[in-house]
Amino acid sequence: MELGLLYSGGKDSTLAALLLDEFYDVQLVTAHFGVTDDWKHARETANRIGFAFNRLDLERAVAEEAIARIREDGFPRNGIQYVHQHALEALAAEGFDAIADGTRRDDRVPTVSRAQAQSLEDRYDVDYVAPLSGFGRTAVDRLVEATLEVTVGPSEEIKRADYEAELRTLIAAEDGPEAVEAWFPAHEQTYVTDVQQLTAKRTE
Amino acid sequence: MELGLLYSGGKDSTLAALLLDEFYDVQLVTAHFGVTDDWKHARETANRIGFAFNRLDLERAVAEEAIARIREDGFPRNGIQYVHQHALEALAAEGFDAIADGTRRDDRVPTVSRAQAQSLEDRYDVDYVAPLSGFGRTAVDRLVEATLEVTVGPSEEIKRADYEAELRTLIAAEDGPEAVEAWFPAHEQTYVTDVQQLTAKRTE
């Protein structure tokens, strides 16, 4: 079964890929607006860990609408949620048997409710799976520690390909760098550099 | 990391075991009240698919309280939920690094809310993971089709080791077989007989 996984090069979506790998033909898909080349970081990690990779073009209007929400809110949560929903819709339209993302149990954004999942599945005749949604923060951290080599740093410096990087770039251009600083609270991000171990005990 | 997974021999908990197997040392654990030998069916499947197995004794008082609820409700949902919560508590007290169950996104019973999960984790210093909670019914069915050999049949005939079998036996003794028929609506159950294929593409 062909599965497309929304992929940023971060630890959550990388861990999701490893979890799904035994059951699906997984293709890592990085959604982007064509604003920056940050998607190449995701491709680099995908290549290093041995997964197929593809880009998914999102309409620039989606970014503009997201930025309008962030501007109004003064924080990025709803804007990023808006982009994620559009990315899932666009991915679902690609014809995979299943689509997935790296959302965790304790994530505040993006989230996909049970009703949203069911709606996606019904409208596109596709399975939506969120393999990390049954894992809390500590469980994910422990699995990452055991499985991945990661680089950790402030979100403005870490090279990954989530929606945030492009939204920041657009906002800096439209509203100035001080708007980015005001609306995006500093937080640590991780970027996966390699898979340390990936040994299945009972699979030959 | 040592993980204890609540195990019935059914397709959901077997699929959960396969998903977790790459990341944890998985032990399959069947909770029971000492009423019947149905736990042996789970042990049989565990042996066949190559997982460590153990039993977990639950207090008979938990069964009695569950039956009291089922008697009052006229349906088994709340009683089974009550047993599941006690089984998770007992499993968490066993000293594993992580505990898990096979609950799916679309399950109505048993369910474990985010707050319940967090509470378990905090009180026992253990990770609770529900690897199937991000998978809907169709996704699970497709994975089962691709991965497991299962026997399907009416719930009163299928030999598995979920709580229902022992509760039915106790209710039949206390309230008569007609009570079992009245309170447990007929539904199909599955019992896993083997793992068809378990090949990881990128793991050597």
**Is A115 touching B (CB cutoff 8 A)?**
no
Residue, of B164 and B64, whose pLDDT is higher: B64
Provide the domain count of chain B: 1
**What predicted TM-score, i.e. pTM, was given to this entire model?**
0.89
Which chain B residue shows the shortest CA-CA distance from A131?
A: B134
**Is B137 touching A (CB cutoff 8 A)?**
no
- The CB density around residue A97, as the number of other CB atoms within 10 Å, is 15
Residue, of A197 and B126, whose pLDDT is higher: B126
Q: How confident is the model at residue A135 (pLDDT cuts 50, 70, 90)?
A: very high
How does pLDDT run across A140-156, given as a tens digit for each residue?
A: 999 999 998 888 777 66
Q: What's the pLDDT at A155?
A: 66
How does pLDDT run across B92-151, given as a tens digit for each residue?
A: 999 999 999 999 998 888 999 999 999 999 999 999 999 999 999 999 999 999 998 888
Domain extent at residue B95: 2-195
Where residue A51 sits, what CATH number does that domain have?
A: 3.40.50.620
For residue B197, is pLDDT > 60?
no
Cβ <8 Å between B139 and A200:
no
Closest-CA distance, B121 to chain A, in angstroms, reads 9
Residue, of A132 and B160, whose pLDDT is higher: A132
B200 contacts in A (CB within 8 Å)? 21-22, 200, 203
Is A28 among the domain residues?
yes
Mean pLDDT of A58-83: 96
Mean pLDDT of B147-166: 79
Which chain B residue shows the shortest CA-CA distance from A50?
A: B202
Residues 6+ apart with CB under 8 A from B15: B102, B132, B140, B143, B144, B147, B148
For residue A95, is pLDDT > 60?
yes
ipTM of model: 0.87
Cβ <8 Å between A22 and B23:
no
For residue B170, is pLDDT > 50?
yes
Is A150 among the domain residues?
yes
Is A202 among the domain residues?
no
Q: What's the pLDDT at A190?
A: 75
Q: What's the pLDDT at B158?
A: 67
One DSSP character per residue, chain B reads -EEEEE--SSHHHHHHHHHHTTTSEEEEEEEE-SSSSTHHHHHHHHHHHT-EEEEEE--HHHHHHHHHHHHHHSSSHHHHHHHHHHHHHHHHTTT-SEEE----TT--SS---HHHHHHHHHHHT-EEE-TTTT--HHHHHHHHHHHEEEEEEETTT----SHHHHHHHHHHHHH-HHHHHHHS---EEEEEEEES----SS--
Mean pLDDT of A150-169: 79
3-state SS, chain A, equals CEEEEECCCCHHHHHHHHHHCCCCEEEEEEEECCCCCCHHHHHHHHHHHCCEEEEEECCHHHHHHHHHHHHHHCCCHHHHHHHHHHHHHHHHCCCCCEEECCCCCCCCCCCCCHHHHHHHHHHHCCEEECCCCCCCHHHHHHHHHHHEEEEEEECCCCCCCCHHHHHHHHHHHHHCHHHHHHHCCCCEEEEEEEECCCCCCCCC
Look at residues B78, B17, B79 and name the one whose alpha carbon lies nearest to residue B48.
B17
Is B120 among the domain residues?
yes
Q: What's the pLDDT at A203?
A: 36
Which of A1, A11, A22, A125 to mutate to probe the B interface, most B CBs <10 Å?
Answer: A22
Cβ <8 Å between A198 and B201:
no
Is B15 among the domain residues?
yes
Closest-CA distance, B14 to chain A, in angstroms, reads 14
Is A203 among the domain residues?
no
Q: How confident is the model at residue A193 (pLDDT cuts 50, 70, 90)?
A: confident
Closest-CA distance, B112 to chain A, in angstroms, reads 10
Q: Is B123 exposed, middle or buried (0-12, 13-18, 19+ CB in 10 A)?
A: exposed
In chain B, % of residues over pLDDT 90: 77
For residue A75, is pLDDT > 50?
yes
Q: What's the pLDDT at B156?
A: 64
